[in-house]
Structure 1
Amino acid sequence: MSIEQLAETAQAMVAPGKGIIAIDESSATIAKRFAAVGIENTEENRRAYRELLLTTPKLNEYVSGAILFDETIRQSTKDGVPFAKFMADNGMIPGIKVDKGAHPLAGCPGELVTEGLDGLRERLKEYYKLGARFAKWRAVINIGESMPSGTCIDANAHALARYAALCQECGLVPMVEPEVIMDGDHDIETSYEVTEATLRSLFDALYAQNVVLEGTILKASMVIPGKDCEEQVDVEEVAEATVMCLKSTVPAILPGIVFLSGGQTDEQSTAHLNAMNQLDKLPWPLSFSYGRAMQQAALKLWAQDMTGNYAAAQKTVYERAKANGLAAQGKWEG
């Protein structure tokens, strides 16, 4: 795929008023989500649940694409249409999570580095054949006493950049996700400093690995105080801090930035995105790539009655997509 095609795909991912739904939970994570609402964790239930999400009527009005898990990109609708084909036929771009998860970083207690570079080129080629046109890799940055270390930030930035270069070589738009974790009692200033250092390191690494920024999407965490911080701040302060941090670190040539919800409530994640898009002159579109914040309400409904509540569950998925699509334009009214 040419640089022009990569850039075109990246721009389509952040088309005005559209964002990405993340349904790439690993088997362990989906098991926890299912257990919480009393659904048996079988392959068929996972397939049926992902079908419910992807076949939501009119989803493509507000959702440009979906991040799938390895199992999901190989599955089909109950009518036998592969999910990736169903999405492409309905104007949505199939994406794939390709990292192998965060593992302890040797020599840095309490810190993590994401693995999965071995054999990645072959996997990316296969995913392209299966219909994927973008990929996702998540790094985990914890804040704590003397954390994160420069070693942790740089190791993760280097891995993200190598992954991104391989994606572009194989015709996939890389979504780079350095998630600064909300757990902890740190204040918003600490969150800002860590996010800024992380993004600087990331873009330095992307340049060093010759990654074409026009064909890359950033999946960012918001600059937000830790969950246990006594000083919580209002929506406007999160929006202003996040945008200021991004403006000081992210090149304007990037096609767009999507946010993860990262432990925020559905309402918070939408309100923060909306407030950011009401600020003046942003160099890039700011949109969403939410998982839990798009699915939680629907999963609870579906769990109560898988057949009877199917349409109602899909309606909540559409409503969450619409709210976030409006927020991506600063037009959400709450």
Structure 2
Amino acid sequence: MNQEQFNRMKNDDGFIAALDQSGGSTPKALKAYGIDEDQYSNEEEMFDLVHKMRSRIITSPSFNKERVLAAILFEQTMDRTIDGKYTGDYLADKGIVPFLKVDKGLADEEHGVQLMKPMPDLDDLLSRAVERNIFGTKMRSNILEANESGIKSVVEQQFEIGKRTVASGLVPIIEPEVSIHAEEKEQIEEILKNEIMDHLNQLNDDEYVMLKLTIPTKANLYKELIDHPQVVRVVALSGGYTRRQANDKLKENEGLIASFSRALASDLKEELSDDEFNTTLDEAVEDIFDASVHKTLK
């Protein structure tokens, strides 16, 4: 583990940029950016275009260490270069901590949740992440109903993968997303918090994790998780809220910082000039940074 990056993630102000759209979500990300599916003819061209989009964000002067703590990358982004450097190294040189999305997507819904699909190549991927100077990982599950056995299975799977990640020398971001459209969202979040606490309390003193959670219905519900000694940071996903909605909800939760994807990039368009692009990105970065440092607990 890189101790300097660990201290930064633990203590510094800022937020995490989620730039980790994978195969299934890449067409949507490109479409939002202004590139329709008829502008590329195969997967290789699609990934070339999304890497160009991400590179434009990462190299922008608006994307700086003063406000952006870290960025989460897709596997192909980790393996590609920006200005002759692997993406993780380019970020680190800017003072931004690199993370890697390691899950392979979601399984079909069962018991009100979607577990992660099997990850047979996880150990190889973790080894490659270490070689690429990645600091941590992220993996996402999805919770749709207040089904205790389903939620329990999500948290168990997340921490099982998380402990394997810790053993490889990386810090995992555990992400059991709660759908913002769930009818029993508040009840789900109470069950989820208790399950996470149980697993956190079983970690050894040298085992650290991060948590990425949907902004809770009940403000400050996750304060106990934020204060846990084995938790480096608790970050929030935007989950389909607009940037304004997500920021307003985030400000109600002390110590919770953003890890936004769509809410960060929603106004960025390919046709913007570089000056227009940087100005638009700067506005988004500043809005999310302000919401993340609002009442941040030290």
Range into which the TM-score falls when normalised by the shorter chain? 0.7 to 0.9
The one of 104, 109, 116 aligned to 1:100: 104
Q: 1:121 to 1:199 in 2, by over 3 A?
A: farther
- Matching residue's letter, 2:132: L
The CA deviation at 1:65 is: 0.9
The one of 283, 287, 291 aligned to 1:323: 287
- 1:27 and 2:19 equivalent? no
Superposed CA RMSD in Å reads: 2.3
Count of aligned pairs between the two proteins: 286
Post-superposition CA distance 1:171-226 (Å, at most 9, x none): 11111111100124x2xxx3222112112212323444x365862111111123xx
The one of 158, 182, 197 aligned to 1:203: 197
1:143-182 mapped onto 2 (5 Å cutoff): 143=145, 148-182=146-180
Q: 1:127 to 1:249 in 2, by over 3 A?
A: closer
Residue matched to 1:193: 187
Counterpart CA distance in 2 for 1:139 and 1:173 is 17
The CA deviation at 1:15 is: 3.8
Residue matched to 1:38: 35
- Matching residue's letter, 2:93: D
Residue matched to 2:14: 18
- 1:89 and 2:93 equivalent? yes
1:42-61 mapped onto 2 (5 Å cutoff): 42-59=46-63, 60-61=65-66
Q: 1:214 to 1:168 in 2, by over 3 A?
A: closer
- Matching residue's letter, 1:132: I
Counterpart CA distance in 2 for 1:81 and 1:129 is 13
The one of 121, 139, 142 aligned to 1:140: 142
Structure 2 residue matching 1:22: 3-state secondary structure: strand
Counterpart CA distance in 1 for 2:54 and 2:113 is 32
Post-superposition CA distance 1:112-139 (Å, at most 9, x none): 2112443322211111111211100111
Counterpart CA distance in 2 for 1:115 and 1:176 is 15
- 1:223 and 2:187 equivalent? no
Q: 1:80 to 1:97 in 2, by over 3 A?
A: same
- Matching residue's letter, 1:258: V
Contact 1:14 1:64 (8 Å CA) reproduced: no
Structure 2 residue matching 1:297: 3-state secondary structure: coil
Counterpart CA distance in 2 for 1:101 and 1:197 is 23
Contact 1:17 1:326 (8 Å CA) reproduced: no
Deviates more, 1:159-168 or 1:266-275: 266-275
Residue matched to 1:261: 238
Q: 1:43 to 1:101 in 2, by over 3 A?
A: closer
Structure 1 residue matching 2:174: 3-state secondary structure: strand
- 1:297 and 2:267 equivalent? yes
The one of 247, 254, 258 aligned to 2:223: 247
Post-superposition CA distance 1:150-171 (Å, at most 9, x none): 2211111111111111111111
Structure 1 residue matching 2:211: 3-state secondary structure: strand
Post-superposition CA distance 1:12-31 (Å, at most 9, x none): 12544311000101122011
Residue matched to 1:114: 116
Post-superposition CA distance 1:251-295 (Å, at most 9, x none): 532232110000111111112222324xxxxxxx32110000001
Q: 1:99 to 1:207 in 2, by over 3 A?
A: farther
TM-score if structure 2 supplies the norm length? 0.87
Residue matched to 1:127: 129
- Runs of 4+ deviating beyond 4 Å: 211-214, 248-251
Contact 2:226 2:234 (8 Å CA) reproduced: no
Gaps of 5+ in 2: 41-45
Contact 1:56 1:315 (8 Å CA) reproduced: no
Counterpart CA distance in 2 for 1:193 and 1:12 is 33
Identity %: 24
Contact 1:260 1:290 (8 Å CA) reproduced: yes
Counterpart CA distance in 2 for 1:116 and 1:65 is 27
TM-score if structure 1 supplies the norm length? 0.78
- Matching residue's letter, 1:246: Y
The one of 75, 78, 82 aligned to 1:73: 78
